[in-house]
Structure 1
Amino acid sequence: MTLLNHWPLAGLRLITPRLELRSPDPDDLAALAALAAEGVHEPAVQPFTVAWTDATPEQRARSVLQYHWRRWGEWQPENWELNLVAVRDGVVVGTQGIGARDFPVRREVSTGSWLGRTHHGQGLGTEMRAAVLHLAFAGLGAQHAVSGAYADNAASLAVSRKLGYREDGIERHAVRAEPAVLRRLRLTAEQWQRHQPVSVEMEGLPDCLPWFGLV
């Protein structure tokens, strides 16, 4: 018996021209935590609803570990969130998540991600999200993918536009005790088929399908 017999998600791989996305092992998680401690964007901005930016480096690192452990422990086929590390040339550069509730019925996923600051501006954010969109639409049969970004998060919004997302309304949140507008975005399967700028290969998916609520 190996870990894959009990947790096949550990064998899932998404491979793009420059990246491998995979479920993190302990060394990957340590590298991701260190990346978070260094900061993932300019301290003057707060692109997340959770006040992660304003935490200390030690708090950010610990929260990364706890977040991944919590998502693993709470996994259910009807309510799941898959958080993968993005690895380039053996180096962890960031993390890409995809999740869903009642996926077999709703056929809708949501995504979220971040990159270490030294890896910004190289198109890796597009490549990471394209990988999980391929998993969602080509691998799992999704019909919709949703995302969101604050109005001043130009980089995230640019990735969404490049991948074919359309505007889907707004939400108002409180960030640093100030009102902030979150722009919702939606991508249909038909729109995704017209916007696939990155080739993606998948490994290990068949054994994982029941874990996503698919038989």
Structure 2
Amino acid sequence: MCASLQDVRFLWGNHRYSAAMTVQPPPTLDTPRLHLRLVAPEDAEATSAMMTPAVSRWLASWPMPFTVAMARERIAMARSLAATGQALSLAVTAHGDGALLGWIMLHRTRDDPRTATLGYWLGEAHHRRGTLREAAAALLPVAAAWLDVDRIEASAHPENAGSFAVMRACGMSFRREAVIHAPSRNRDELVHVYAVERDALTLPPGTARR
């Protein structure tokens, strides 16, 4: 199972960050097998269908059931946050037919806008193929520059070995244990936090940005 618990939060009502810069268009990336682009309204039905209990259980803010209406709201908020340079939520799609496979997301932390949090998930049918390793390794150096952050963190339940494999593939290393609140289950949960510094990130061969 490859999913990160500390995914993008959409409860930013008290967020105070404002970027003193011109926001560039969200990046679009191609890797050998994948096309990464900003999530779009037409992704709502597939997003809802793929958010099954087996996926939701690893995610902090993707509850079950996750309806099409909820997906539309999540996508609208994601696009709004991208427009202001506060977060980046990309659809992970397949080359060829363009099928939606999942999401990969980064957002500035509430307390430190120089740090971004990484989250990701795939539909059950797309697990165990190295998809998230490929997507995350390509996106992180581009997203760190686009968000202008110095550090990227991610977290997962201690038993989520697949997620830690994704983090390590991106150059992340274990930093600490923490307790975070998971709104999807309305409880606090123990996680292991991994991180990587921006200057340690490099774009993998075969990645194209457009």
* Residue 192 of structure 2, aligned match among 183, 193, 199: 183
Contact 2:103 2:121 in 1 (8 A): yes
Give the match for residue 58 of structure 2.
Answer: 47
SS at match of 1:41: helix
SS at match of 1:31: helix
TM-score (norm 2): 0.72
Give the match for residue 170 of structure 1.
Answer: 177
Contact 1:127 1:198 in 2 (8 A): no
Which structure carries more helix by proportion? 1
SS at match of 2:133: helix
Contact 1:40 1:114 in 2 (8 A): no
User: Where has structure 1 moved over 6 Å in runs of 4 or more?
Assistant: none
TM-score (norm 1): 0.71
The size of the alignment, in residue pairs, is 183
Quote the Cα distance in structure 1 between the aligned partners of 2:117 and 2:37: 18
- Pairing of 1:60-75 with structure 2 (within 5 A): 60-74=67-81
> Which structure has the greater CA radius of gyration?
1
| Residue 19 (1) aligns with residue 34 (2) | yes
Gaps of 5+ in 1: 1-6, 204-215
Quote the Cα distance in structure 2 between the aligned partners of 1:117 and 1:124: 12
**Using a 3 Å threshold, how does the CA distance of structure 1 residues 80 and 127 change in structure 2: closer, same or farther?**
same
Per-residue CA shift, 1:58-106, capped at 9, x if unaligned? x3443222112123345564x611111111032111111112269xx95
Quote the Cα distance in structure 2 between the aligned partners of 1:84 and 1:115: 12
Give the match for residue 155 of structure 2.
Answer: 148
| Two-structure CA RMSD over aligned residues (Å) | 3.1
Matched AA of 1:62: A
Quote the Cα distance in structure 2 between the aligned partners of 1:14 and 1:130: 11
Give the match for residue 85 of structure 1.
Answer: 91
Structure of higher RCO (CA pairs closer than 8 Å, 6+ residues apart):
2
CA deviation after TM superposition for structure 1 residue 115, in Å: 0.2
Contact 1:9 1:23 in 2 (8 A): no
CA deviation after TM superposition for structure 1 residue 161, in Å: 1.3
Quote the Cα distance in structure 2 between the aligned partners of 1:74 and 1:18: 27
| Residue 129 (1) aligns with residue 133 (2) | no
Quote the Cα distance in structure 1 between the aligned partners of 2:127 and 2:138: 17
Gaps of 5+ in 2: 1-22
Per-residue CA shift, 1:124-152, capped at 9, x if unaligned? 01112123203124556542111111111
116-125 vs 174-183, greater mean Cα deviation: 174-183
Per-residue CA shift, 1:26-59, capped at 9, x if unaligned? 32333223322xx27368xx2122362xx23xx3
Quote the Cα distance in structure 2 between the aligned partners of 1:29 and 1:178: 27
